Chain A
């Protein structure tokens, strides 16, 4: 029964946030877009013209929606992310006291990081964040030389590595947990698991470079008088003020943040002895990385890097690296509270209970879907009808989504900002202008195909750019060009679909062979690890080695 307390508390924490969202329908907020049946597009495996930013997440979701409805897949992923995180953090505490585990679970599972990434729709980051304690535990098991620990580590890394950022987050924790003596075994495994996004990014024709102004726009920001440093210290500081919980802006928050960090630091020597210093040190690296743009010369170095070094665009939105700090912070606080409880002659339970309550009470506006910030909606029927038209027409060509712009605000979704759902809803490759606007200022996109499509749109010659269809989404801000030369094939309240007359050039996916091979190798490696974990073969070989 005692074993169920921690997972039970983790489920309660998750349901306190997600319960209003568990009905049928989709949660569409900023970058989080799911579709009833997501298409497996070249972009989903890294063979498109956009950077492999959502690889292999899109491919995995597409495969899952072949089996389950998209909204069910979405809820399963969100619940998994919000349950696994606190559960894993509680298990990681080097103490058998249940109350201590609950403190760690709450301090890990109820954070500004979770709130802001959830509201921003960064579900793969949440999943990676949730896997960190499990990866750390498996890494520590590898360090101790436990049987099958490496395969267990690979499987947890794989669950967190659904995006490049997730891959780096869990990969670093795997290496830090296992220790430098095991790096020869762990590093190749981590690279193999991340191959689905690494390989297409390496062979991509155009280097993935980013606009330098994006560094400062997406850098960590302060939430109150404490500034960016204190905000990041408390696992907050996300760049987008629109998703920061109101409770984070209050004047008392920096006091609470510094005090909590102080309590955690008290237990770092013990953590260092229990874990080795890798995971604690990585927490410090996370803090520095998240604040790098605020350091002397840091902003300049990052601006140069993202504009000059292929792949350095991964360093944008640097606050995401603070996830590494969350583990030593949560576990450190819990251990300090435990030590305090032991020294008290009475009131131990009360101190533990108070400590468990602190994160929740201090940020109540994460509860109940952010007090209604998120909601469940249904796609209008127009989307299904457009999908049918495109599925049933053999005419070649990709789809261009209009108005140009990556984000939408529809009445049917409560005017929430959301990513254009067309690429995931439609059964063909859909080109979206990935320029993003922050406070009205444009940050250039990275789709190598978009400049040619934009020019073709101006010339009225979309077929030459491989565009066979134009989808106009209604009820969302954005200007429309003259479309009088196109043939209308569907018109609804929310969508109009046009066919582009004339010859349409077929644009082949980029490096499809490499992308498919990388996915086959990556998933094949995972399948091998799964078999090794569950079949007797692994045990037999291990026993022989032991002898």
Chain B
């Protein structure tokens, strides 16, 4: 029983590593958001609102 649960823990670690690794790789290859925002215009007085958040799902 102990070995089975230990194996589960190790598999979980593998899954965690896969998740973390994927995020790290994707993040490393994404464009620098700061560079895009440097040229973003200030929009006060131009209408619109600031969203508190986004519900995507």
Q: Taking beta carbons and an 8 Å cutoff, which residues of A are in contact with B?
A: 30, 217, 221-223, 239-243, 245-247, 250, 252-253, 255-256, 259-260, 263, 266, 336-337, 339-344, 347, 351, 354-355, 357-365, 371, 403, 405-409, 411, 414-415, 417, 436-440, 443, 473-480
Bound Cα distance from A371 to B30, whole angstroms: 13
**Across the interface, do A407 and B51 meet the contact criterion of CB distance under 8 Å?**
yes
Interface size on B (CB < 8 Å)? Answer: 41
Q: A336-B5, A347-B6 are in contact. Are A358 and B16 (CB under 8 A)?
A: yes
Bound Cα distance from A495 to B42, whole angstroms: 13
Within 8 Å CB of B47, what residues of A?
477-479
Within 8 Å CB of A371, what residues of B?
27
**Across the interface, do B16 and A405 meet the contact criterion of CB distance under 8 Å?**
no
Taking A339-B2, A340-B5, A403-B45 as given, write out 18 further A-B residue pairs in contact, using a Cβ cutoff of 8 Å, ordered by the A residue number: A222-B57, A241-B54, A252-B18, A259-B15, A336-B5, A344-B6, A354-B9, A357-B13, A358-B12, A361-B20, A406-B52, A417-B51, A437-B50, A438-B52, A438-B53, A440-B51, A475-B43, A476-B44
**Across the interface, do B55 and A256 meet the contact criterion of CB distance under 8 Å?**
no
Bound Cα distance from A475 to B26, whole angstroms: 32
Within 8 Å CB of A403, what residues of B?
44-45
**Across the interface, do B20 and A364 meet the contact criterion of CB distance under 8 Å?**
yes
Bound Cα distance from A361 to B23, whole angstroms: 10
Q: Which of A240, A242, A246, A363 contacts B27 (CB 8 A)?
A: A246
Within 8 Å CB of B40, what residues of A?
411, 415
Bound Cα distance from A337 to B10, whole angstroms: 11
Q: Which of B8, B15, B44, B49 contacts A362 (CB 8 A)?
A: B15
Within 8 Å CB of A355, what residues of B?
9, 13
A355 and chain B: residue at smallest CB distance? B9
Within 8 Å CB of B49, what residues of A?
405, 437, 440, 477-478
**Across the interface, do A343 and B2 meet the contact criterion of CB distance under 8 Å?**
yes
Q: Kindly list the 9 A-B residue pairs having the minimum CB-CB distance in the complex, ordered from nearest.
A: A343-B2, A240-B53, A362-B16, A475-B42, A407-B50, A241-B56, A477-B48, A436-B52, A247-B23
The residue in A358, A406, A474 that gathers the most chain B C-beta atoms within 10 A of its C-beta is A358
Within 8 Å CB of B16, what residues of A?
256, 357-359, 361-362
The residue in B34, B44, B55 that gathers the most chain A C-beta atoms within 10 A of its C-beta is B44
**Across the interface, do A343 and B1 meet the contact criterion of CB distance under 8 Å?**
yes
Q: Which of A252, A255, A354 contacts B13 (CB 8 A)?
A: A354
**Across the interface, do A221 and B6 meet the contact criterion of CB distance under 8 Å?**
no
Bound Cα distance from A255 to B12, whole angstroms: 9
**Across the interface, do A239 and B23 meet the contact criterion of CB distance under 8 Å?**
no
**Across the interface, do B18 and A474 meet the contact criterion of CB distance under 8 Å?**
no
Q: A247-B19, A250-B19 are in contact. Are A351 and B12 (CB under 8 A)?
A: no
**Across the interface, do A239 and B42 meet the contact criterion of CB distance under 8 Å?**
no
Within 8 Å CB of A340, what residues of B?
2, 5-6, 9
Bound Cα distance from A336 to B19, whole angstroms: 23
A-B CB contact pairs (8 Å), 30 listed: A221-B55, A239-B53, A240-B52, A240-B53, A241-B55, A243-B53, A246-B27, A247-B19, A250-B22, A256-B12, A259-B11, A263-B8, A336-B5, A337-B9, A340-B2, A340-B5, A340-B9, A355-B13, A358-B9, A362-B15, A403-B44, A438-B51, A439-B51, A439-B54, A474-B44, A476-B42, A477-B43, A477-B47, A478-B48, A480-B45
Q: Is the interface of B mostly helix, strand, loop or mixed?
A: helix
Within 8 Å CB of A479, what residues of B?
45-48
Bound Cα distance from A474 to B57, whole angstroms: 33
Bound Cα distance from A347 to B1, whole angstroms: 15
Q: A247-B20, A256-B19 are in contact. Are A417 and B52 (CB under 8 A)?
A: yes
**Across the interface, do A477 and B19 meet the contact criterion of CB distance under 8 Å?**
no
Within 8 Å CB of B51, what residues of A?
407, 417, 437-440
The residue in B1, B2, B12, B49 that gathers the most chain A C-beta atoms within 10 A of its C-beta is B49
Q: Which of B13, B24, B46, B50 contacts A358 (CB 8 A)?
A: B13
Bound Cα distance from A443 to B47, whole angstroms: 18
B38 and chain A: residue at smallest CB distance? A411
Bound Cα distance from A370 to B47, whole angstroms: 31
Bound Cα distance from A341 to B6, whole angstroms: 8
**Across the interface, do A476 and B50 meet the contact criterion of CB distance under 8 Å?**
yes
- Minimum C-beta distance from B42 to chain A (A): 4
**Across the interface, do A221 and B57 meet the contact criterion of CB distance under 8 Å?**
yes
**Across the interface, do B15 and A344 meet the contact criterion of CB distance under 8 Å?**
no
Q: A343-B2, A415-B37, A475-B44 are in contact. Are A217 and B13 (CB under 8 A)?
A: no
Q: Which of A222, A358, A437, A476 contacts B52 (CB 8 A)?
A: A437
Bound Cα distance from A239 to B54, whole angstroms: 8
Q: A358-B16, A411-B42, A476-B42 are in contact. Are A342 and B53 (CB under 8 A)?
A: no
Bound Cα distance from A223 to B44, whole angstroms: 33
Within 8 Å CB of B44, what residues of A?
403, 473-478, 480
Within 8 Å CB of A405, what residues of B?
49-50
